[in-house]
Structure 1
């Protein structure tokens, strides 16, 4: 049985994630806030900015690939959009990259990798 493809970096399919969380947020201008009448005024500059938190259990080979992606200034990412239930493409960068040894094996271990993808 084939699994759903959740992430594609620069045309390369990533393995199935252990966790995958999509957050959509609005970017507001500094001119918004509360008025003298006590109502809230929002000056939305950009809506639906995507942030994805993801974690993987990977081999040393994938650890090396994901570490290389984390050092790139931007990545072309296709991600599983929870609104359309299809892959959507955008440019993103990685922040909060963490790698931890999950289990020591004879071949350099099994690794847990987690990071956040931020839309540019």
Structure 2
């Protein structure tokens, strides 16, 4: 049985996350809104733009790798798409990067968001 790879960033396989949350949103044009008749008009420019929240428990060695990797302005992210159960590739950037020391042995709690361009 093959182990599923849930996340690759710039072709580097990331350790299996403790939590992986997907939020899919549509990007709408500013020309949409409510008409005078009270009907909602949506002009969707892009559908299903993904925001991925990642939570990991890492060793100090992996923390250094992840920290260096996430410094890039643009990342190629391959993730396991829960809608199709296949791998999907997107261009993204990092927000809300947080690091928390869990214990004196160098185990770290790391979380961040990957937002699709």
- TM-score normalised to structure 1 length: 0.93
User: Hey, what does 1:29 align to over in structure 2?
Assistant: 29
Q: Count residues with an aligned counterpart.
A: 117
User: Hey, what does 2:90 align to over in structure 1?
Assistant: 90
User: Hey, what does 1:4 align to over in structure 2?
Assistant: 4
User: Hey, what does 2:67 align to over in structure 1?
Assistant: 67
Cα deviation digits, residues 33-87 of structure 1 (max 9, x gap): 1000001000111111011001000011111111112221011110010111011
Runs of 4+ with deviation above 3 angstroms: none
The answer as to whether partners of 1:70 and 1:95 remain within 8 angstroms in 2 is no
Alignment gaps of 5+ in structure 2: none
Q: Is 1:51–2:48 an aligned residue pair? A: no
Cα deviation digits, residues 15-34 of structure 1 (max 9, x gap): 01000011110000111110
Q: CA RMSD in A?
A: 1.1
User: Hey, what does 1:110 align to over in structure 2?
Assistant: 107
Find the residue that maps to 2:4 and give its secondary structure.
coil
